[in-house]
């Protein structure tokens, strides 16, 4: 007679096997997410030399959150590249004394990578970025109106933005429609508004909202094949009848005689042999390139968002940097990048091995526990019935007794 532990352990083993396969699938998913997180961190900390690692970790966390809504893995890579561009441009605006070699060494590889990953997703990314930009306009209108507490007509009020949009600057200006049409308004930040402005539908008072997207320019208004020389500036008109209103639609703001002038400041130097262009982003997603009027001045007849750009595909790769006076650029050595990548791969392998050993230990522990429960139970003997093994019990303590014997 044999103990019946075979069927019980077989079913338990198959259940443990299914659980193990599920754990392996989750492990592979976690490993993939860890790989992209480490790649983004290495890209931010090693290649672009971010001096504040905590800020980099926060930015990587923001990218990870946005990647959860991405449709494809290429969208996640684009978010990483856009983040890197914002960090480079932010550092460039804080240190304007650096030469154009900085742009050649860092911006060109980024632009080429973005062109590589966006060639097949250009239409999709354009639609999504337009929706994100319109959502940003609605949010900035709300925060700009909060600065208009007992406002005076013709006074510019600077507003604050939420902490997750640090780098963006906004301002609000309340005007009478008749006064704007007769006299215009000069020096509204970078904008000079001429007379004969027509606003539709007509409203007695309107609010002009100024936007400076700073290092968020390439995120909300990506331009494939172009590099921004200035932050994106926005000029939008809203109804001023209710200063506590939110989610307002823009008024139709148009110049009928002279155009609106945008005098850009803090402009990157234009590479030799190239020409800067004015770019206008319409509220409906339209795009228009124009020549500069003079210096760094652009003109427009409608509201929207504006900037100066240069065609990145026309930038020639520079020769090797020459030693000379000035601020050292300290280019990243190739061996540093290789060491960082190899170190990241080794760290991932060790982490994967540790997780695998932990899962294996838990699996063996569960199997041992099931075997212990099986051994602790009452064993049943088996008997052959034809070609089948069935369980049989020992003789019972109380023998069956007929009812008539009990009555007797």
Residues 65 and 186 in one domain: no
pLDDT for the residue 357:
78
Q: Are residues 190 and 126 in the same domain?
A: yes
DSSP 8-state assignment for residue 302: B
Count of structural domains within the chain? 2
pLDDT value, residue 50: 43
Nearest residue to 107 (alpha-carbon basis) of 126, 82, 79, 78: 82
CA dist 130 and 304 (Å) reads 12
- Domain range for 275 is 120-314
Same domain, 41 and 68: yes
- Considering the domain boundaries, does residue 381 fall inside one? no
* Residue 406 falls inside a structural domain: no
Whether 356 is in a domain gets the answer: yes
Q: Answer yes or no: do 138 and 287 share one domain.
A: yes
Same domain, 132 and 185: yes
Q: Per-block average pLDDT, block size 10, for the chain (408 residues)?
A: 46 53 61 62 52 41 39 48 56 52 50 50 52 90 92 93 92 93 91 92 93 92 91 94 88 90 90 88 90 89 94 59 43 65 76 80 81 67 73 65 63
CATH number at residue 181: 2.60.220.50
Both 95 and 147 in one domain: the answer is: no
Pair 190, 86 in one domain: no
Q: What pLDDT does 308 receive?
A: 94
CA distance 271 to 227: 11
Crossing angle between the packed helical segments 5-42 and 73-94, to the nearest 10 degrees: 30
CA distances from 129 to 69, 141, 223 (A): 13, 18, 10
Answer yes or no: do 276 and 140 share one domain: yes
CA distances from 62 to 54, 80, 234, 248, 309 (A): 13, 10, 24, 28, 27
Q: Are residues 273 and 177 in the same domain?
A: yes
pTM score of the predicted model: 0.50
Same domain, 209 and 92: no
Concatenated DSSP letters for 351-371? HHHHHHHHHHHHHHHHHHHHH
pLDDT at 69: 38
Instruction: Give the residue from 254, 283, 314 where a domain finishes.
Output: 314
**Together in a domain, 169 and 279:** yes
Among 279, 314, 349, the domain-final residue is: 314
């Amino acid at each position: 007679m044999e103990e019946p532990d075979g069927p019980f352990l077989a079913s338990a083993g198959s259940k443990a096997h299914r659980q193990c396969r599920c754990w392996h699938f989750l492990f592979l998913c976690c490993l993939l997410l860890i790989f992209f997180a480490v790649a983004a961190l290495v890209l931010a900390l090693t290649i672009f030399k971010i001096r504040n690692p905590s800020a980099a970790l926060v930015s990587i966390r923001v990218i990870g959150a946005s990647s959860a809504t991405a449709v494809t893995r290429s969208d996640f890579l684009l978010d990483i590249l856009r983040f890197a561009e914002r960090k480079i441009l932010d550092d460039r605006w804080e240190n304007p004394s650096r030469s154009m070699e900085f742009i050649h060494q860092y911006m060109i590889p980024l632009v080429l990578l973005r062109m590589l990953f966006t060639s097949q997703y250009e239409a999709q990314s354009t639609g999504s970025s337009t929706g994100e930009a319109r959502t940003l306009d609605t949010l900035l209108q709300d925060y700009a109106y909060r600065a208009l507490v007992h406002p005076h007509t013709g006074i510019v009020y600077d507003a604050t933005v939420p902490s997750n949009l640090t780098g963006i600057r906004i301002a609000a200006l309340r005007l009478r429609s008749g006064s704007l049409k007769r006299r215009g308004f000069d020096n509204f930040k970078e904008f000079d508004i001429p007379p004969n402005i027509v606003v539709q539908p007509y409203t007695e008072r309107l609010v002009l909202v100024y936007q400076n997207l700073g290092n968020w320019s390439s995120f909300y208004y990506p331009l494939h094949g172009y590099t921004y020389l200035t932050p994106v500036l926005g000029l939008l008109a809203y109804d001023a009848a209710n200063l506590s209103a939110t989610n307002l639609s823009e008024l139709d703001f148009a110049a009928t005689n002279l155009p609106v002038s945008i005098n850009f400041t803090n402009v990157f130097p234009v590479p030799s042999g190239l020409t800067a262009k004015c770019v206008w982003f319409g509220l409906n997603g339209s795009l228009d390139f124009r020549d500069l009027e003079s210096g760094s001045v652009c003109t427009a007849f409608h509201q929207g968002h504006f900037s100066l750009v240069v065609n990145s595909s026309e930038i020639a790769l520079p020769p090797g940097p020459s030693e000379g006076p000035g601020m050292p650029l300290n280019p990243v050595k190739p061996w540093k990048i290789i060491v960082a990548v190899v170190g990241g791969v080794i760290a991932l392998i060790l982490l994967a091995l540790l997780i695998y050993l932990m899962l294996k230990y838990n699996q063996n522990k569960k199997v041992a526990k099931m075997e212990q429960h099986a051994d602790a139970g009452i064993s049943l003997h088996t008997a052959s019935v034809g070609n089948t093994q069935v369980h049989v019990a020992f003789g019972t303590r109380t023998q069956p007794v007929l009812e008539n014997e009990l009555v007797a």
